[in-house]
A and B are shown apart, each in its own frame.
Chain A
Amino acid sequence: MSDQHHRPKFRWHIVVFLAPAVLVYTAVMIYPLFNTLRLSLFTEVDQERVYVGLQNFRRLFGETVWSDQFWNALGNNFWFFVIHMLVQNPIGIALAAILSHPRLRFAAFYRSAIFIPTILSFVIVGFAWKLILSPIWGIAPGMLDAVGLKSLYAPWLGKEAYALTTLSLVSVWQFVGIPMMLIYAALLSIPDEILEAAEVEGITSLSAFWKIKLPLILPSIGIISILTFVANFNAFDLIYAAQGALAGPDFSTDILGTFMYRTFFGFQLQLGDPHMGSTIASAMFAIILVGVCIYLFGIQSRMRRYQF
């Protein structure tokens, strides 16, 4: 309101407030990123950079050497995302629902303990789970043996059919704390009057959750889903730490992040190709952008109606 009196005057304070963030962000993040994405329109001939338009994209989608790898990585990435949506987020919601129970004892302890995997680095997570699942160390086979299920053990990380699912579950283990915390916050912010009203009407706690709480936390679930989507399609570190840049066995754990890294920076005798690497990065960017737009304009605008 008060601003209107000063309309003709240039409001310098807005510039001052925005400048530091915009400058640092533009110089250190946006400029280097677009400088790199720009490379996808060039190629290198005899040490010279040549503009080739969309030819790199044509190669990526047209030549089987590239497109097979791309679709394989994209498919794996979708499976990686699906597991996070089907396992990580429901477990996170369930844990949050239990934790948000007002008379639960030791809630702070559980909350902290379950969040601990989230604060560990990928190097530690990758190494620890490789040890536990290792056929040599015998922690996993030994434990299964103790409950009489030895026959269920397989060297999961080395089997094409299981490796990606196993790693997705490890990633779920690591990050379940984030949806748990965010849903927990959303559940606590539901006004007590609503819950009390439900109690008066004799709605039991489980159906209260389905009928009253769940619709109210839908927007939070939406945000978690989109954050999961963006994080999963940018993921790289866990697969790299556990299976290396070739994402074995036989590329069965290759996701877009590892494919991009291997192409961009090279690997072993394979030389780095920044041009094809940034082509893949641009494709990743486009995929994420489409996903985010679907969420923003398709899902979120519809969900607003339920918000209180």
Chain B
Amino acid sequence: MTNSKLIGALLASTVIAGAASAEDVTLTIESWRNDDLAIWQNEIIPAFEAEHPGIKLNFTPSAPAEYNAVLNSKLDAGSAGDIITCRPFDASLALFEAGHLADISDLDGMANFSPVAKSGWSTDDAATQFCVPMASVIHGFIYNKDAFAELGLEEPATEAEFFAALDKIKEDGSYIPMAMGTNDQWEAATMGYNNIGPNYWKGEEGRLALLAGDQKLTDEAWVAPYRQLAKWGDYLGDGFEAQTYPDSQNIFTLGRAAIYPTGSWEISGFNNLADFEMGAFYPPVQNAGDTCYISDHTDIGIGMNAATDNPEAAKTFLNWVGSSEFATIFANALPGFFPLSDAPVTLEDPLAQEFISWRGECESTIRSTYQVLSRGTPNLENETWNASVAVIKGEESPEDAGARLQEGLASWYAPQQ
């Protein structure tokens, strides 16, 4: 058995390598990361194929906005690729429960991940895993170092310092204090609420209490972030209501804004676009000396289509994704997407290194709305987008927003009833 396999492998890789390429197994990878197409084609795929002759990879991304609809349609019809890039939590859990994602708990590579890393792609009882954790993103603020130097500003550590800095930039007038718009909605929730929120609800402690029903969205810890967001509106550029996400990216990278509330995923794109030096700071705490909390969100996993014709090849690939080799390639090819494996990885990009260093200083948590709480109708994540926008625009008070979200959540989530 092993012998014949070995001979087969030898045959495939040496004797008829060129001619027999038609017999290679080709794995098709579904993904929403179309930004990463070049990195897969130029770095990740060649590295894997060099080590695993006989398996070819084909990376076929679609635009993020359509990914879920396209993937679900293809899985239902049976035309999806062998390897599925997994959104965290419920979207992938639903695919697993529908029998589309294979159980990969026993995969050797899974040993390299902590339970927290695996939580994004486990069943509710944490017994079964269906995707290999690939990357997380860390929230924070990127700033224009030149602008800060020009105005004599330092990285703010507390909320008071943060708003003092914003006031000073606004007074000076040569920079827009903060580059963010509300047109696309998600930034307000993702880069706003879930960026600054963990400092108030104390990261995992608050998040788990909310899940258990011990805290409510009307509690001070959950309303206070909205109170801070309500103050942001004054520091955003003119017409921020119609400003889109790409608008904000361009405003910041063209050097017209001083601070950009964001996540680490922007780093590689911004490195190519900005011609000034960038720095980063984590969400300022309420009082000097408070423990800081950061959103270190499990964002990308990768799993196996249960209906694949090539389960062995797919497992070989997934094991490789769990290896430290992949982690190193991936982390350095895409600074800002941080590998979740326990294997130590050195990052060459200084800005990415800055973000990842916060893991040592602060407590990590994930976005509050992702696990379980966006399972019902109304959908808490979508509602949070809506509420964050309304609060920033001053159309809803922080208290009203909290009450509305709590009412929606309680309407279907038993522990909150």
Contacts and interface: CB of A to CB of B under 8 A. Distances in A.
Direct contact between A and B judged by beta carbons closer than 8 A = yes
Interface of A: 47, 65-66, 130, 133-136, 141, 154-159, 243-246, 248-251, 261, 265-272
B69 A266 contact: yes
Contact of A270 (B98, B183, B241, B382): B382
B311 interface: no
B184 A244 contact: yes
A272 B243 contact: no
Interface string B88-123: 011100100111000000000000000000000000
Interface string B255-266: 000000000000
Given A251-B386, A272-B69, 8 more contacts: A47-B98, A134-B244, A155-B240, A246-B185, A250-B389, A271-B90, A271-B375, A272-B68
16 contacts: A47-B99, A133-B242, A134-B247, A136-B239, A141-B239, A155-B241, A155-B243, A158-B239, A158-B240, A246-B185, A248-B185, A249-B389, A268-B382, A269-B90, A269-B91, A270-B382
A158 B241 contact: yes
A248 B184 contact: yes
Nearest to B66: A265
B389 A248 contact: yes
Contact of B381 (A156, A243, A261, A269): A269
Contacts of B193: none
A181 to B, nearest CB: 32
A156 B408 CA distance: 29
Contacts of A159: 241-242
Contacts of A265: 68-69, 72-73
B381 A270 contact: yes
A191 B89 CA distance: 68
Contacts of B250: 136
Contacts of A243: 183
B333 interface: no
Contacts of A266: 68-69, 72, 91
Contacts of B79: none
A136 B386 CA distance: 23
Contact of B382 (A156, A158, A246): A246
A157 B242 contact: yes
Contacts of B89: 269
Interface of B: 65, 68-69, 72-73, 89-91, 94, 97-99, 181-186, 237-244, 247, 250-251, 369-370, 374-375, 377-379, 381-382, 385-386, 389-390, 393, 395, 408, 411
Contacts, number: 108
Nearest to B396: A250
A166 B241 CA distance: 14
Given A248-B389, A269-B89, A157 B183 contact: yes
Contacts of B411: 65
A136 B247 contact: yes
Contact of B97 (A47, A244, A261): A47
A65 B378 contact: yes
B251 A248 contact: no
A229 to B, nearest CB: 27
A158 B242 contact: yes
Given A65-B378, A135-B242, A249-B241, A158 B65 contact: no
A130 B375 CA distance: 33
A266 B382 CA distance: 11
A157 B184 CA distance: 11
A182 B138 CA distance: 56
Nearest to B238: A135
A134 B242 contact: yes
B242 A270 contact: no
A155 B186 CA distance: 18
Given A250-B386, A269-B382, A272-B69, A155 B374 contact: no
Contact of B239 (A65, A155, A249): A155
Contacts of A154: 239
Nearest to B182: A158
A55 to B, nearest CB: 15
Nearest to B69: A265
Residue with the highest number of chain A CB atoms closer than 10 Å, among B183, B244, B378: B183
B407 to A, nearest CB: 11
B186 A268 contact: yes
A136 B91 contact: no
Contacts of B241: 155, 158-159, 249
Residue with the highest number of chain B CB atoms closer than 10 Å, among A47, A134, A261: A134
Contacts of B68: 265-268, 272
B113 to A, nearest CB: 22
B242 A272 contact: no
A271 B98 contact: no
B243 A158 contact: yes
Contacts of A250: 386, 389-390, 395
Contacts of A269: 89-91, 369-370, 374, 379, 381-382
A237 B69 CA distance: 15
A133 B239 CA distance: 10
Nearest to B393: A249
Nearest to B73: A265
Nearest to B412: A65
Contacts of B377: 65-66, 270
A158 to B, nearest CB: 3
Nearest to A245: B65
Contacts of B91: 266, 269, 271
A249 B396 CA distance: 13
Contact of B94 (A66, A135, A245, A271): A271
B181 A158 contact: yes
Contacts of B375: 271
A248 B183 contact: yes
A243 B389 CA distance: 14
Given A158-B183, A250-B390, A267 B382 contact: yes
A213 B252 CA distance: 57
Nearest to A248: B185
A272 B94 CA distance: 10
Contacts of B379: 269-270
A156 B185 contact: no
Nearest to B244: A130
B353 to A, nearest CB: 30
Nearest to A271: B94
Residue with the highest number of chain A CB atoms closer than 10 Å, among B94, B237, B239, B379: B239
Contacts of B240: 135, 155, 158
B72 A272 contact: yes
